[in-house]
Amino acid sequence: MPGKTSISLVGLVIVLLIGAACGGSPAVEKTEVSSSGSIDQNGKITLEFWYSLGGDTGKVVEALVSQFNESQSEVTVNPTYQGEYAAIMAKIWAAISSGKTPNVAQLGAAPLLGETGAIVPISDYLEPGGFDRSQVWDVFWQYNTAGGTLWSMPFNNSVPVLYYNRDLFAAAGLDPDQPPQTWDQVIEYGKQLTRDTDNNNEIDQWGINTHENTHWYLSTLFLGNGAQIVNPEGTEVLYDSPEAVQMLQLWSDLVNVEKIMPPNQHSEARADFLAGKLGMLLNSSSSIFSMERDASFKVGVAVIPAVAGREPVIPIGGGSLVILKQEDEKIQQAAWEFVRFMASEESALELATKTGYLPIYSDLLDSPEFKAYLSEHPNVKASTQSLDYAVSIPEFSALGTSDSALRGAVEQVELGEADPRQALEAAKAAVQQSIQEQPQP
Amino acid sequence: MTAHPAALTTRSLRSWWHRRGEETFAAYAFLLPSLVIFVVFTFYPAIFSIVTSSMRWNLPYKAVFVGLQNYQNLFAGPVTGPVFWKAVLATLYFSLGVPINLSISFLLALLLNRRLPGVGLFRTAFFLPTITSTAAISVVWMWLYHPADYGLFNTLLLNLGLPIQRWLRDPALAMPCLILMGVWHGMGYNIIIFLAGLQNIPRELYEAADIDGAGGLAKLRWITWPLLSPTTFYILVIGIINSLRAFTEIDMMTEGGPLSVTTTLAYYLYQVAFQFFRLGEASAVAVILFVVLLILTLVQFRLVERRVHYE
Amino acid sequence: MSSLSGSRRLPQVFPELAQSRRFQKRAGSVLWYLVLLAVSLTVILPFFWMIATSFKTPPEVFSYPPSWIPQALQFGNYVDAWHSAPFARYFTNSAVVALAVTAGQLVSCCLAAFAFARMNFKGKGFMFALFLSTTMISTQVTLVPSYLIVQKLDWIDTYQGLIVPFIANAFGVFMIRQSFMTIPRDLEDAARIDGCGRLRFLATIIIPLSKPILAAQGLFAFMGNWNSYLWPLIVTNREEMRTLQIGLRYFVSQETGTPWGIYMAAAVMVTIPVIVIYFLVQKSFVEGMATTGLKG
């Protein structure tokens, strides 16, 4: 039936076009957002809390929620795990589109939600609530600020750190208690660690590698050399500067000149390290406990190395708490009380001592409980030391595109497809196109 | 059956109804359950996405109508254009796995269609890849394809005196590696479908052929292949549709790399939607993918279905 | 039809032929076993890895050379996995939903396939193209609009929300249509003469003859739904309505590191029901009695 199928094709297209024309544009209207959460007859409030931390960390979060529920009787919080970063973002967007959101959510890139009008700036509650901002490291407030507004509450943060295999260090004649502190030392150490252990002319033990989020580690190198990622207004990315190009060149040299890093092998890096095939690994401090658990050798952790003559500059990562808009002021106030509890000093201590996340309160480092914890887990010292050098990369809407572009640039130089300048210029071009499409203020 | 314009009497209407009308009505009744679900959960969202493709909707900002600009950007834009066309090529490359999968599944189904003891175990073995946790699959295949000399495939190569390869991390080899993995993963479904199709071939035909002294190859050519052709056609058409939509293997093993050589249109769609949050552009890619698939499928029906033996 | 006697007569007349035939058959069988064994081993590798890893301690998971047989069987992984989440409840939900979707799909697909395979009606080609076109629509873009609909219907956190969107499946319609089209017209004519209505014809004659393909489609429908993750995640907010796949993903943590031993233990538990269904069903599409149905 040849004739019939072509008629079908045309018919189908016409139907879809008519449907499109008549379908309206549901996406363009701004939906009135109202979160769930309810008040029953006795005035008891129930809140919905969505979080995206799984496994053992998720258990700690749930324990904190239970503590909150038990500590008072006016508010009950229902926590539900909503998958990791991509899944919870999809859920939140779906929820915002439908107009029915949770009351509180824990997720990454929280300040970006500010533009949607679906969340209430935390700053609206901090002052009236008498919260003392100075108790928390300033870098965490910066991390949660976008466009001059403090949107979200600091909660779970991490820094990139240098993991190293103490046994391999010792075998290579390096002192396991003296990890490298500059990139020059990294190269030196790396050369000692890179070997062909079974004498078949193939390197099977490498000096250094990084986990998959290469954009994070590259950003660390950029910042450490004085380069910036983006301008304060969020309208231009700045990694085509000479300082940045220099650091991508360094990265490229690790692979192509010094040959201490395998080209484009980042997906395998963590498994290689745990299998004892890699001397040093750049990874997140939040993985500390799983790294120690999964390794069959002694793991060492050090602060990220710095450029010689400069101090380290370490960008933080992690998630935050947001309060979603709710018409009923009582419910919104209850949501704030919950957020305040979850970000209180006691909760922060609990989170910091039961997971690999950073203590966000500056005086926690002097508290006896935390000191005791550090003496039991000396590897955590590296992440707390990193706090002295921690900074926050400003959030901007094209961040996702930018991270992906930087990963592409890393890939290109490692495989010798482009030189660092070309790669970064191409990355910038891709991101600028996205930025240009932002609505002008 | 054209009706005489002048003779629209109740009798001629009733006879039309008895001839075609009643059957048409009944047929739509049979289609109704599926149709209702499709309209609500597939067509409405599809229309929504066509509308969205005419907008620039970069989260978290609101949507803005831009007409065909997304399509212009994809086809000819300075930044997005090359990326899009590279994805088109990658998609075509990846679809080479379909005929490979079809051939291998066909042969294996023939082998598994015997009554020898233990065949049940073998059949189960081939089915296992489709139900094994994707995390387990990715861990094992990452070891097989590990670029160092201790990767399992590399160890094999070294034993044969050949140089090691970087497999998934080598832009030239990444796609063939994924195709192999895709074939391995999808074999189970196709074998089951082929087996089911083989069951439909009456045994009497084979027995009659045996009497005539027909050998294995002749039976294959004159009985099995033609009578299996409806099934083969199905697997071809569905294979291409699934191949163009495939995403899991790419996400597990290469995340579209290295150097975007394994970024097919489906993976690009995922990136634009869930990593860059450019929903308008993502919808445009989805529409393009849909149109490509529609055309490919209709072409197959037109060219290939006439060679299918249904009875 | 005494067709068997013909092929058996030859060896009786020529005994040497019989012997060489038997030898050929044996040699063929051995070769068959070897080939299949070799290919099968490569195919079951990841499955075997999954089981082996479920019994390992964390350092063992990452040890090199990779260990295929764990040092000691860590049953604790299974205990930990089971206790980490309400798996019994998840299992009930997954089972109810998957079985309902399977039943729904089989019914809707058989009806539609019958229409396409056996009936002539206006707009048939167009409708078939329409049905097929549903398979070409990317799920990434249908996710949010579908969610909005389910939400408007108040089906969040309900079984309906998990089941109804999936009781139609164009792949199934297509596959079953192919099979229905191979059934001889004579059967239909005979039935019509006997005054058998369409539905009854479908139910009492066509369906029993199509057991293999229906078993296959049923299996696929079940598996597809059993393994689905993103949709159940999006339309359920409460623990009590969640499915096994969501429970399984709870262990995966990119940031902090997945406990692979426990994860694989959970994965093995989640896979077992599918294997059971496979065993129950495989007889149908493998050892079905294939006849033309025209027995005298």
How does pLDDT run across B195-229, given as a tens digit for each residue?
Answer: 888 887 888 888 888 888 878 788 888 888 888 88
Residues B123 and B244 in one domain: yes
Mean pLDDT over residues C161-183, rounded? 92
The per-residue pLDDT for range A84-102, each reduced to its tens digit, is 887 888 788 888 878 888 9
Q: What pLDDT score was predicted for residue A55?
A: 81
Regarding an ipTM greater than 0.95, the answer is no
Of the partner residues A1, A80, A294, the one whose CB lies closest to the CB of residue C237: A80
Query: Which residues 201-240 of A are in CB contact (within 8 Å) with B?
Result: 202-204
Q: Best residue in C255, C260, C263 to probe A by mutation, most A CBs within 10 Å? A: C255
Q: Which residues of C touch A81 (CB under 8 A)?
A: 250
Compute the nearest-CA separation of A89 from chain B (Å): 9
Return the partners of chain B (3 or more C-beta pairs < 8 Å).
A, C
Cα gap A417→A402, rounded to integer Å: 19
Q: What is the pLDDT of residues A231-243, one digit of tens each?
A: 988 889 999 999 9
Long-range contacts of C192-200 (CB under 8 A, 24+ apart): C198/B26, C198/C114, C198/C119
- Are B145 and B24 within one domain? no
List pLDDT tens digits, range C137-163.
888 778 878 888 998 899 999 999 999
CB atoms A93 and B149 under 8 Å: no
Please state, in angstroms and as integers, the Cα–Cα distance from residue B212 to each residue in B202, B208, B215, C19, C215, following that order: 16, 6, 9, 20, 34
Give contacts of B187 with chain C, Cβ < 8 Å.
43
pLDDT of residue A177: 95
- Distance (Å, whole) CA A69 – CA C295: 73
Residues 6+ apart with CB under 8 A from A13: none
Query: Chains touching chain A at 3 or more Cβ pairs under 8 angstroms?
Result: B, C
CB contact under 8 A, B20 and C122: yes
B contacts of A441 (beta carbons < 8 Å): none
If asked whether residues B255 and B177 sit together in one domain, one would say yes
Average pLDDT score over residue span B152-167: 90
Size of interface A-B (CB pairs under 8 A): 127
Q: Is A8 within 8 Å of C253 when comparing Cβ atoms?
A: no
Please compute the mean of the pLDDT values over residues A158-181 and round it to a whole number: 96
Here the tokens at position C284 are: 């149908």
Instruction: Looking at the structure, tell me whether residues B34 and B108 fall in a common domain.
Output: no
Cα–Cα dist C276/B131, whole Å:
12
Tell me the shortest Cα–Cα distance from A87 to chain B, in angstroms.
Answer: 9
Taking only residues 214 to 243 of chain B, the set having a beta carbon closer than 8 angstroms to any beta carbon of chain C reads 227, 230-231, 233-234, 237-238, 241
Which CATH code is given to the segment(s) A31-155+319-366?
Answer: 3.40.190.10
Please name the residue of chain C whose CA is at the shortest distance from the CA of residue B187.
C43
Give the Cα separation of B41 and C144 in Å (integer).
Answer: 11
Q: Which two tokens stand for residue A252?
A: 């490229």
Most confident of B32-41, B154-163, C59-68, C181-190: B32-41
- Contact call for A4 and C126, based on CB within 8 A: yes
Look at residue B53 and tell me whether its pLDDT is greater than 70: yes
| Tens digits of residue pLDDT in B97-136 | 999 999 999 999 988 887 778 788 888 888 888 888 787 8
Chain B residues 141-170 with CB within 8 Å of chain A? 142, 146-150, 158, 164, 166, 169
Cβ–Cβ contact A417 with B under 8 A: yes
User: What percent of chain A shows pLDDT beyond 70?
Assistant: 91
**Residue B3 domain-assigned?**
no
Per-domain residue ranges of chain A: 31-155+319-366, 160-315+398-437
The H or E element containing residue A106 is: strand A104-108
B143 and B24 fall within a common domain: no
Task: Judge: B148–A203 Cβ closer than 8 Å, yes or no.
Answer: yes
DSSP run (H or E) holding A35 = strand A34-35
**CB atoms A28 and B55 under 8 Å:** yes
Place of tokens 């047989």: C69
pLDDT (mean) for C106-117: 94
Output DSSP code: residue C86: T
- Say if residue A221's pLDDT is above 50: yes
Residues B50 and B184 both lie in one domain: no
Judged by CB atoms closer than 8 Å, whether chains meet at C171 and B311 is answered as: no
**Whether C256 and A81 lie within 8 Å, measured CB to CB:** no
- Choose the weakest-confidence range: A185-189, A429-433, B36-40: A429-433
Over the Cα atoms of chain A, what is R_g? Answer: 25
Best of A98, A107, A284, A289 to disrupt the C interface (most C CBs within 10 Å) is A98
CB contact under 8 Å between A397 and B61, yes or no, is yes
Determine, for residues B33 and C223 on separate chains, whether the beta-carbon distance falls below 8 Å.
no
**Percent of chain B at pLDDT exceeding 70:** 97
Q: Do C233 and A1 count as a contact with CB atoms less than 8 A apart?
A: no
- What is the number of domains present in chain B? 2
Q: Which of B39, B40, B48, B152 has the highest number of chain A CBs within 10 A, making it the mutation to test binding with A?
A: B48
Pairing of strands A104-108, A45-51: parallel
Q: How far is B97 from chain A (nearest CA, A)?
A: 24
- The CATH number assigned to the domain holding B155 equals 1.10.3720.10
Start-to-end C-alpha separation, chain C: 10
The count of CB pairs under 8 A between chains B and C is 271
Tell me, yes or no, if A264 comes closer than 8 A to chain B by beta carbon.
Answer: yes
Q: Which domain holds residue B216?
A: 95-263
Tell me the average pLDDT across C180-196: 82
Class of domain C79-292: mainly alpha
Amino acid C275 reads I
Q: Is A105 helix (H, G, I), strand (E, B) or coil?
A: strand
- Backbone φ and ψ for A106, nearest 5 degrees, come out as -115, 120
C-alpha B190/C-alpha B98 separation (Å) is 11
Q: What band does C226 get if pLDDT is binned at 50, 70 and 90? A: very high
- Answer yes or no: do A287 and C144 touch at CB < 8 A: no
* C74, C61 Cβ separation under 8 angstroms: no
Among residues A426, A430, A360, A441, which one has the least CA distance to residue A402?
A430
Considering the four listed CATH numbers 3.40.47.10, 3.50.50.60, 3.40.190.10, 3.40.1280.10, the one that applies to the domain covering A160-315+398-437 is 3.40.190.10
Shared domain for B99 and B148, answered yes or no, is yes
Whether the pLDDT of residue A14 is over 70: the answer is: no
Q: Length of chain B, please?
A: 311
pLDDT at residue C122, rounded to an integer: 86
Report the run of H or E that residue A391 belongs to, with start and end.
strand A390-391
Q: What share of chain B is helix, strand, coil (3-state, %, to 5)?
A: 75, 0, 25
Whether residue B274 is contained in a domain is answered as no
pLDDT of residue C15: 64
